Chains A and B, each alone.
Chain A
Amino acid sequence: MTERYLLRLFISDHTDRSRYALENLEQICAEELGGRYELEIVDILLDPQAAAREQVFATPTLIRELPHPVRRIVGDLADHEQVLEDLELLPILAKGRD
């Protein structure tokens, strides 16, 4: 069975950095995850409580909520391979492709 990913991206909507990270993530999802993901975008300016609850103190922060364990990275997500590696999506992806 192919695993599905629940990804949550915390952004500060008006900044170029967040826009850039979102573009990167959308590209990664489209090219590498092939529809096997749910993506939630949380704008910390609109929902500061969510940032406090999740202890997010820098954006862009990307959290892989599912599958467990939770993985979390911070940065612009420009290095797609590193994003996949740090979120431990590559091995799962490779398994899915077998």
Chain B
Amino acid sequence: MSEILTPAIKKTMQNVSQKNNTPSPHRPHPLCNRRLAAFRHSGHGDGPEEDQLFEIIVRHSSDAIVVTDDQGLVRYANPAAAKLFGRRVEKLLGRPLGLPTGGERNEVDIIRPEGDLVVAEMLTSRIPWGKKQARLAMLRDITEWRETLSRLDHLAHFDPLTELPNRSELQRQLRKALSRASRRNAQVAVLFLDLDGFKVVNDTLGHTTGDLLLREVAVRLNASVRAGDLLARIGGDEFVLVLENITCTNDAAHVAEKLIKALEAPFQLDDTTLHLSASVGIALCPQDGVHAGRLVQTADHAMYRAKAAGRGTYAFSWDPHD
């Protein structure tokens, strides 16, 4: 594409610069002339002359094409550039865009006059401009593509129901937390919380009510943790809380009690009132291990100890009375 368009732009620049009484730039590339000859011999020769042809290509390009001089002032802009920047071509010419940098590929935010931002991919190259050099920037609106990527990225790391980090994001953030703790010689607690009797809610009241309940549980748990604590939903009714910088096991126990208490008050979902409890298992780093997966697994096992002990309570991975 660049092989074709670069001479095309040169030619268009030639037209523009001649109109502006500036020195004429280089002649079109010989390869370009051969292509034109081939184009004419292919039976399309009834079309526009060479001079007009490149101008038509550039003017009808869906990609924005901007040329700046060595001071970064806009010397050429095609209609697609006017559309992308939300300004008429004459409002762009002579304005200080700046020298487009970055070479192969770059992304910039275009600020339109109304204040909205458009994400654009920008490819730049140096081109001759009379006796000087100019910078060619080809830009393409990628706002929708970026938004889609952003949504996919969010979905890959966050639970869409509760907006909490999901299992893979928990693992990623927990690994970071464990690295920090290792450097500071600090303790980390992993609390594994499972709702008691949630399956019955789903089975009797349906998944819609179950989802509403999970959302409300997430809100209450979130309200019970400190800013900076990591709360994740890793499965159906399974939540994990990571506590950094705890000083003793009692800190973790205290937070577990707080979480359990937060879910004690009845849940009012539409016309249904639900009473719920939760069981919490606790694993500690470095006592129970230093690897993220292992700590979550250990806390999970401890949670089953809590359930076996009568539900609505918490348990460590080991019995503190042993």
Q: State yes or no: do A and B come from one complex.
A: yes
**Interface stretch among B32-40, B109-117, B259-267, B276-284?**
B109-117
Q: How far is the CA of A79 from the CA of B122 in the complex (A)?
A: 14
Verify if A55 is at the interface (C-beta below 8 Å from B): yes
DSSP majority for the A interface? Answer: mixed
Q: A60–B109 Cα gap in the complex (Å)?
A: 7
Let me know if B62 is at the binding interface, CB within 8 A: no
B108 and A86 contacting across the interface, CB-CB below 8 Å: no
Q: Which residues of B contact A18 (CB under 8 A)?
A: 109
Distance in angstroms from A72 CB to nearest chain B CB is: 4
Q: Which residues of B contact A74 (CB under 8 A)?
A: 72, 97-101, 108
Q: State whether B95 touches A57 (Cβ < 8 A).
A: yes
Whether the Cβ atoms of B101 and A79 lie closer than 8 Å is yes
- Which residues from A are CB-within-8-Å of B168? none
Q: Interface 1/0s, chain B 74-104, versus A by CB < 8 A? A: 0000000000010100000001111111110
Collect the chain A residues with CB atoms within 8 Å of residue B98's CB: 58, 61-63, 72-74
Point out the residue from A56, A77, A78 that lies within 8 Å of B111, measured CB to CB: A56
Decide: A82 near B111, CB < 8 A? Known: A57-B85, A75-B106: no
B-contacting residues, A1-39, CB 8 Å:
12, 15, 17-18
Q: Which residues of B contact A77 (CB under 8 A)?
A: 101-102
Which residue of B111, B115, B124 contacts A58 across the interface (Cβ within 8 Å)?
B111
**Which residues from chain A contact B111 at a C-beta distance below 8 Å?**
12, 44, 51, 56-59
Q: Kindly identify, within residues 47 to 86 of chain A, every residue whose CB is under 8 Å from any CB belonging to chain B.
A: 48, 51, 55-63, 71-79, 82-83, 86
| B contacts with A, residue count (CB < 8 A) | 25
Question: How far apart sit A73 and B117, CA to CA, in the bound complex (Å)?
Answer: 19
Contacts of A60 in B (CB 8 A): 108-109
User: Is the C-beta of B257 less than 8 angstroms from some C-beta in chain A?
Assistant: no
In the assembled complex, the Cα of A70 lies from the Cα of B102 at a distance in Å of 20
Given A15-B117, A79-B102, A86-B101, the answer on whether A73 and B72 have CB atoms closer than 8 Å is yes
User: With the chains together, A60 CA to B103 CA distance in Å?
Assistant: 15
A77–B122 CA distance with the chains assembled, in angstroms: 13
Instruction: Known contacts A17-B107, A17-B109, A58-B97; decide if A75 and B85 are in contact (CB<8 Å).
Output: no
B269 vs chain A, min Cβ distance (A): 35
Q: Complex Cα distance A44/B116, Å?
A: 11
A contact set with B: CB distance below 8 Å = 12, 15, 17-18, 44, 48, 51, 55-63, 71-79, 82-83, 86
Q: List residues of B whose CB falls within 8 A of some A CB.
A: 72, 85, 87, 95-103, 106-112, 115, 117, 119-120, 122, 124
Other contacts beyond A57-B111, A72-B96, A79-B102: 16, CB < 8 A:
A12-B117, A17-B109, A48-B115, A57-B95, A59-B108, A59-B109, A61-B98, A71-B99, A72-B98, A74-B98, A75-B106, A76-B101, A76-B108, A78-B102, A79-B103, A82-B101
